[in-house]
Structure 1
Amino acid sequence: MAPGPEHIRRWESGALAHAVTDPFGQGPVPWLRGSETYFDDTGQVVPWYVDPAPARRPGGEGGPKVPGPRTAPGSASASGVPRSADDVRRQIKGFTSTGAVAPGEAVDFHITVDPPQEFSVDIYRIGHYDGAGAAKITTSPRLAGIVQPPPLTADRTVSCHHWWLSWRLQVPSYWSVGAYVAVLTTADGYRSHIPFTIRDQHPADLLLLLPDVTWQAYNLYPEDGRTGASFYHAWDGNGRLLGEADAATTVSFDRPYAGAGLPLHVGHAYDVIRWAERYGYDLAYADARDLHSGRIDPTRYRGLVFPGHDEYWSTNMRRTVELARDSGTSLVFLSANSLYWQVELGPSPSGVPARLLTCRKRKGPGKSVLWREIDRAEQQLVGIQYAGRVPEPQPLIVRNADHWLWEATGTHEGEGIEGLVAGEADRYFPRTPLPPHEDRILLAHSPYTDHEGVLRHQETSLYRAPSGALVFASGTFAWSPALDRPGHVDPRVQRATANLLDRICKRD
């Protein structure tokens, strides 16, 4: 007798099996709508994106069912259920072998298609776009898809660096810098995604840094019950998911992202981008690896914005950011658990820089450890540091409500902003040194109970460095989604963030 759906292991269903949860996790980013729409078989207009769930219940099992969107005519399954590629059958999966590129440079896509057939690539840019969330920039010609060789594995490191080049996108000189998503679609309607960044050296007020190093640390590709590995998980011979003790110590950028092809936590960055572009902030873009390589000079900007979960930092990344702060460049950490693990970036077997990421987590020889274990605690840069996970969303309790950050937000001392402490939280550690500062203030103090029933608290921090740079840390995963994610938007958080960025950008 065939097992029922409840007996199917999570990886067999193509569902993400990460034990590390994101309370705002969005598989293929169902809120990310482009301007392109299709008519499904019921006559309703639906957006381009793929939702792997045929029905969703907002707010839990008790809520009304919301039909999942369907793909274009001729590309949906017979039942009309959307078809998102998975890591078991790998109907279509891909990655770029280039990091962030500048206008005029090329992005190289390596894509596998099974069974072999034609496919196309739609390129979207993330932004507000009158609420659409993204705009389609271009579409590839019809491309011939092939089944690429299986991933190579060595000591838990999975790499697809041997895949053939599938398509080279020559980025026109007039394209805007920003965060982009390539949407891959096969002739029979399977879809996957590849994120990439277009950066430039032109001056701007703010440099937004996409946390691609942390994204790769969590990447379990291929999530097939056999070969995939991240810094958190790997599989045993029976398809059971193993924990950190058996996980990879080195992961490769030369592979797709698991599941729908978008990184875990990617939505945090996209929330900030949509909000910041809506309100006209002058943004430049780069990846964390650009910080590491020295490809960008952060001192050219008034502020560096870290929009999402940014947990893994190399020595070069930290040194570059510290020098920027000491030169007067402000720092804005809009999530929690930043700068936690020290990592090393190394070349691929063919010598391409920054394609291998190593974090030994106390396993074997090497330098990869917690920053706080080598007397360089994250608090010495961020102002607060990681305290733990938050089992259920809790209110953020405003402190020092007369401070300019809370100006015109309508908040009062001790007021709670519901649901704003969630996912993971930071706080001030009194026994850990603070960074050099002219003044420092805690702008929230929010109690919560951890998984073991112990009462803990979250804090939001702001300090001014001797250089005059401001360093803000929200101390919670939920701050970024409160800027522009449907169902999570909070005008008080939007205004507080605008107060901060306006001061950094010297806006009146």
Structure 2
Amino acid sequence: MGAEQIRRWESGALAHAVTDPFGQGPLPWLRGSENYFDDTGQVVPWYADPTLPRGSTGGGTRTADDVRRQIKGFISTGAAAPGEAIDFHITVDPPQQFSVDIYRIGHYGGDGAAKITTSPRLSGIVQPAPLTADRTVSCHHWWQSWRLQIPTYWSIGAYVAVLTTVDGHRSHIPFTVRDDHPADLLLVLPDITWQAYNLYPEDGVTGASLYHAWDEQGRLLGEEDAAVTVSFDRPYAGAGLPLHVGHAYDFIRWAERYGYDIAYADTRDLHAGRIDPTRYRGLVFPGHDEYWSVPMRRTAERARDNGTSLVFLSANTMYWQVSLAPSPSGVPDRLLSCRKRRGPGKPALWRELDRPEQELLGIQYAGRVPDSHPLVVRNAEHWLWDATGAAEGDEIDGLVAGEADRYFPRTTLPEHDNRILLAHSPYQDSDGVTRHQETSLYRAPSGALVFASGTFAWSPALDRPGHVDPRIQRATANLLDRICKRA
């Protein structure tokens, strides 16, 4: 099957729709007729199927794809600070002029983002084909297309570059602007996990992630044949946004609306030791954060042991152990490796390395949730549920979704002064077996609180249209207010 004939249901992005029912989430610059009919005739919002071209039957902006690569790009650095520069590497086919609109994610009166600046009109070129070596795909040899000098007055935060060609094709590049000033909370964006899922180029030929690759007939292969190492030096597949990016954006919009004092960083900052946890009352992990290196875990544990609280608002956190290495040109932390179950050597699951996730989180990954189920409130008298109106046994619809964590009785718990489970929710797994999701909170001997929601649906309930739940909003505020000493 040639690249032009890739069927949507063989798309790597859709292959993960079961894992993350929330996907990329709504973005404010993509409004209008952004709905499409799927194979069953049902209307699908644009963010549920990032492989579809936008407006392909008429004028307007259309999302670039990985087969034709009308416009695709990446940045050659991680997070950057005001006063520093970010280099963009962009391919445009056919060659033509393009521009870059820079948006910052936030509340902004309900808009969800604000346009900060627009580049000059830039000249686009067709960059060389991606290089591949043993399933690792890299575009580190692409020429620089544009340098963004970040003004010193820019706010730190999560940004998205929206690339648009003269003929109306569009793609995205997310990036983070950070600094090292103290704040109440540090939001840690899970860029390592984002890259693990990146199948670029999703072309039926060369693309590979830590989950998938293609065979000679263009069929999607599973983890046994996937990449062992993936590169940050390449665009994200499809629309150019990571598969799970929406979770972080949901939290950001909500937290900025209510005025929390937030600093920003990427997980590679955590890995590289650029984060001093003592500067913050709490570290917040807002989305799917599955891949952790040894230095990441060491920093998080040190933070907890020195009194900095940890807030995990998703599930399946810290499941795989990974390593990071420099790019061929020597830039640190541009290659991500995880051997998973292939070949000789030690396993890659933290729990199989005698370091189960529960020793930090208080709960750990239990499995996928094929269909959403209610979250069942437990210990409703606890302060987390204050002023939520939630009573013991109340069901919060749709809050157990995507993937779920639970307490494993035979697995070591972290050292704690007190510990409580705040939800105990039955759901059916893919085999129809009843399992349970749980939400955990414990206080470490240092006084730090460690909260784990145990479900993918927590952050979307804060500010995702169609998913907002005031009880989850209030509970999250109760938690953060206590961490930030507001309560």
TM-score, normalised to structure 2's length? 0.94
What does 1:311-460 align with in structure 2 at a 5 Å threshold?
311-367=290-346, 369-460=348-439
What's the offset of the Cα at 1:296? Answer: 1.5
Aligned-partner residue type, residue 431 of structure 2: E
CA contact (8 A) 1:325 1:331 kept: yes
Answer whether contact 2:281 2:483 (CA < 8 A) is retained.
yes
Structure number with the bigger relative contact order (C-alpha 8 A, sep ≥ 6) is 2
Deviation at 1:362, TM superposition (A): 2.4
**Would you say how many aligned residue pairs link Structure 1 and Structure 2?**
478
User: Residues of 1 paired with 2:19 and 2:301: CA distance?
Assistant: 28
Q: Describe the shift of the 1:295–1:62 C-alpha distance in structure 2 as closer, same or farther (beyond 3 A).
A: closer
Equivalent runs, 1:120-139 vs 2, <5 Å: 120-139=99-118
Contact 1:25–1:264, Cα closer than 8 Å, also in 2: no
Structure 2 letter corresponding to 1:16 = A
Asked if 1:114 is matched to 2:93, the reply is yes
CA distance, structure 1, for counterparts of residue 98 and residue 343 of structure 2: 43
Q: Residue 337 of structure 1: SS of its match in structure 2?
A: coil
The aligned residue for residue 484 of structure 1 is: 463
Which ranges of structure 1 fall in alignment gaps of 5 or more residues?
A: 34-47, 69-74
Structure 1 position 55 matched with structure 2 position 66: no
2:13/2:243 contact within 8 Å kept: no
Deviation at 1:62, TM superposition (A): 5.9
Number of the residue aligned with 1:79: 58
* CA-to-aligned-CA distance 1:247-281 (integer Å, 9 cap, x gap): 00000000000000000110000000000000000
Q: 1:56 to 1:284 in 2, by over 3 A?
A: farther
Instruction: Name the amino acid aligned to 1:21.
Output: V
User: Residue type of the partner of 1:266?
Assistant: V
Q: Please name the residue that 2:281 is paired with.
A: 302
Deviation for aligned residue 1:405: 0.1
Q: Provide the residue aligned with 2:51 in structure 1.
A: none
Tell me what 2:7 maps to: 9
The partner residue of 2:256 within 277, 283, 290 is 277
1:255 aligned partner: 234
How far apart in 2 are the matches of 1:460 and 1:200? 32
- The equivalent residue for 2:126 is 147
Distance 1:226 1:11, change over 3 A: farther
- What SS does structure 2 have at the residue aligned with 1:16? helix
- Where in structure 1 do 4 or more consecutive aligned residues deviate above 4 Å? 50-54, 60-63, 65-68, 75-78, 365-368
Distance in 2, matches of 1:332 and 1:53, equals 34
The answer to whether the Cα contact below 8 Å between 1:52 and 1:83 also exists between their aligned partners in 2 is no
For the Cα contact (< 8 Å) 2:92–2:125, is it kept in 1?
Answer: yes
2:104 partner SS: strand
Give me the whole-angstrom Cα distance separating, in 2, the residues matched to 1:157 and 1:196: 22
Q: How far, CA to CA, are the matches of 1:449 and 1:21 in structure 2?
A: 14
Match for residue 197 of structure 1?
A: 176
d(CA) in 2 for partners of 1:348, 1:367:
24
Q: What is the CA–CA distance in structure 2 between the aligned matches of 1:128 and 1:205, rounded to whole Å?
A: 18
Q: 1:370 to 1:278 in 2, by over 3 A?
A: same
Letter of the structure 2 residue corresponding to residue 214 of structure 1: T
Q: Check conservation: 1:420, 1:479, Cα contact below 8 A.
A: yes
Answer yes or no: is the 8 Å Cα contact 1:15–1:259 preserved in 2. Answer: no
Between stretches 171-180 and 292-301, larger displacement belongs to 292-301
* Equivalent in 96, 106, 127 of residue 75 of structure 2: 96
Q: Which residue type is aligned with residue 194 of structure 1?
A: I
Once the two structures are superposed, residues 191-214 of structure 1 have per-residue CA deviations (whole angstroms, 9 ceiling, x without a partner) of 000000000011100000000000
Aligned to 1:32: 27
Q: 1:364: Cα distance to partner?
A: 2.6
Q: Is the 8 A contact 2:138 2:233 kept in 1?
A: yes
Q: 1:337 to 1:66 in 2, by over 3 A?
A: closer
Q: Secondary structure at the match of 1:183?
A: strand
Q: Give the Å deviation of 1:52.
A: 9.7
Looking at structure 1, the residues matched to 131 and 45 of structure 2 have their Cα atoms a distance apart, in angstroms, of: 40
Unaligned runs of 5+ in 2: 48-53
Contact 1:50-1:82 at 8 Å conserved across structures: no
Cα offset, 1:298, TM superposition: 1.5
Aligned residues with identical type, % of pairs: 77
Question: For 1:450 and 1:240, how far apart are their aligned partners in 2?
Answer: 26
Report SS of the residue matched to 1:448.
strand
Deviations 1:412-441 (A, max 9, x none): 000100010000000000000000000000
Kept in 1, the 8 Å contact 2:12–2:212? The answer is no
Which of 190, 202, 206 matches 1:227? Answer: 206
